[in-house]
Structure 1
Amino acid sequence: MERDLIQQTTLLSTKEEYIAWEQRCDEFIESLEEQSRIKRPRLSIGNRQSVIARIARLESLKDSVRGRFVYVGAGYGLRWREIETAFESRILTGAVINSNHIDPRRFLEDASETVIERVQCIMRALSRILNLNVNANKLNPLRAGCHIKLPREIMLKRAVVNVQSKDTACFAWSVVAALHPAESYTYRTSSYPHYSSVLNLTDIEFPMTFSQIKKFENHNDISVNVYAIEDGIIPIRLAGRKRNKHVNLLYVQDDIEGHFALINNLSRLVRSQISKKKNRKYFCDSSSAKLELHSVDCGKLNDCAIRLLSEDDKWLEFKKHCRKERVPFVVYADLECALEKMDKDPASSTYTYQHHNVFSIGYYVHCSYDNSLSSYRFHRDKDCVS
């Protein structure tokens, strides 16, 4: 859950989305505090400190995200946060939430007044202080760096190219592997041109963070989709507009850092999640000829695809009448006639003995999609059909 909240910060674009995200964050923090307060079963010291550190990280994340959507005054980057715990010795636990400082020395200098003020408040209530511990927790937003070995089930599918780079530019190497595919030794950086000679990386810092991908797309006219491994393969970042150059990446993490790898066959990677058959599947971000035809059909207002006839296939057959579309207009017409007796012709063996004289006509026009267009009309006259 904590990882999902951190990841979602890169996707927030409106204040309404931020408010909903902050509510989810507060609910998760409240569940962590409830976990830290529980007395039975009691958490170990290590687990309890881990819970406190997670609360502090999320509070710091909230402050940094709040600055993007809500105006905050000067000095808001540091604040004190008390955390209730179930220590037997009734030790008061608190955290200084930092959302601006990066250098630990500068942070401790600026936070000293806040810490001293809180310690003085504690001293007024206590006779003496036996011990004071200061823990610093770094907020590490979702980013990617060095080489990470892929899970065995992913490797066996042979659908992902994992370039083993020695730097933190695994994102750039994966994109280059998509633009300039290698026939052999696809995991070596020496099989590809250096990313600096292929890509425009102006104002891009490595390791790559999700917030920089949009800038990278605009600089290079490339659309990038990112997938992750959770309960199967799921998309965690989809491009707003698919461009002529499109890349699918897989984001994997260990306990320390994240890593990008190239998905060179999305169908093979996720096919087993939707079907047991081994036929190729076409997804909405696949650059196949079938998808291009599908995209043309989807752009039409009609819900049926149009396929023109060819010389080899020029006969149309239709059997499933239940799938016929209703015609927009139907006309029901009727005539009223008077029978006129005719004189017999003595020179002929056959003759007309009655003649139908039309004196009235009526018709009803029915519209299947708008009843206001339906109407009935009639006319009585000896020349009503002329």
Structure 2
Amino acid sequence: MFDAYPEYIEEFSIEIADFNPIGPTAHISLPETMPKRNNGIINIQNNDDWCFGWCVLGALHPVKVHPERNPHRLYGDFVEKLNMDDIPIPVPVSTPVYKKFEENNPEISLCVYEWHNQNKCLDFRYVSERRGEEYKQVNLLVITEEERSHYCIIKDLHKLVYNHSKHKGQKYLCRYCLHVYSAEKGYKEHLPKCKSLNNAPQRPQMPVKNRSIKAFYNHKCMQPNPYRIFWNLEILTEKLTPEEKTKLIHTERLQMHKPCGYCYVVVRMDSSLNYEIMSYDLYRGPDALERFVTKIEKEQANIQEDLSAPAEMILASGDLKSYNEATECWICKKPFIKPSQEALQKFEEAKHRLLEVKEWEASIGEDHPEKKKIQKEYREALSALNRKVKDHDHINGKYRGPAHDTCNKKLRIGSFETKVPLICHNFRGYDSHSLMKVVSKFTVDKLNCIPENIGKYKAMDVDQLRFLDSF
């Protein structure tokens, strides 16, 4: 019966116990995981239960010589300045108690931390909501030993967490969230927005007058890859022999995947997305992977040779007139500005020095010892002019429009720098396994890859070649 009630109760009792959190006691040594020297900690050597009060007084009234010794003598004269009404002694590690202490002492901003032995870092116990220089900052550290606790003064919070970041120079640390800044400017911008670790909001950043418009500035991405290779492998499955099965201990495999053929197509494309097939290859045989690597490296050499000789510029009727009348760059859409007198003067000086070098070499018959330096200065001075130039497609030679000198260089195609994507369907899930077996066959010094896990690779760079998935 679900609606039955008991006829009588033999015994009914309620037990109530007071909650007494563990309060700090006498002196406790610092944990072994904490830095022993230059840690910014003052461990008060008290023999009573008033370590919280001594630590607060020690932070408010610092002593230069042995501030940890005999707190009664050093800080006894300042005890009456602390309002400890309704604060239990010893002071427990409790947020309501800390809030009550701040209510009693409105000029103090209190932060309490705890040392985490396993991770060797600080944990938050209490973070004050009082911000500003008008408050006296008091930073305390709680250390525990079995059922005992003890407060210490954090004299320098920066020293205590110095090794928490790789930056080894001057650091600026926020006491409310322990975020480290290497520059004072970023630290001061952070302080008004910081809401401590647990209540950290998303940082609001409103647009300013000169930076209120989002625009495209990565102009080098306007130039498509001139070459791309589409490829795929064919793989057969062969059953394992009994001898091969015995070599496997932890897994049971039934078949072995062995490449038996490949096919690839090399496609060249200009900036107008007009493409043409340059070469292709189809092969079947037991050495398919090794042959594939050899053929791809030959194709890479052919691509480098082709890109090293860009097409000559082809000007259609009216292009020269439109170039002379143009007032803005077709790449960045910004107007052409007349160079300053200072830039023109530097260019003329660099040009004059370069002519002197050529005359010296013509008369002596040897290379000038500072030829490379002077040539570099000339190129820099020429680039500073940011003059108007004609931009054209290096693949088909067509004139594209007027451009700044710097913008034109951003669309430059490097014969040895421009990546050649090799696109394969399901490269990440399957074909990358087979390719990794012969990746050492490539004649390069360094390989880079983006692994998804130990068996899948999203992409792989082999020198100038970049293997990608079609998705």
TM-score class, shorter-chain normalisation, is 0.3 to 0.5
Q: Under a length normalisation based on structure 1, what TM-score does the superposition of the two structures give?
A: 0.41
* TM-score, length-scaled by structure 2: 0.34
Q: Which has the higher contact order (CA 8 A, sep 6+)?
A: 2
More helix by share: 1
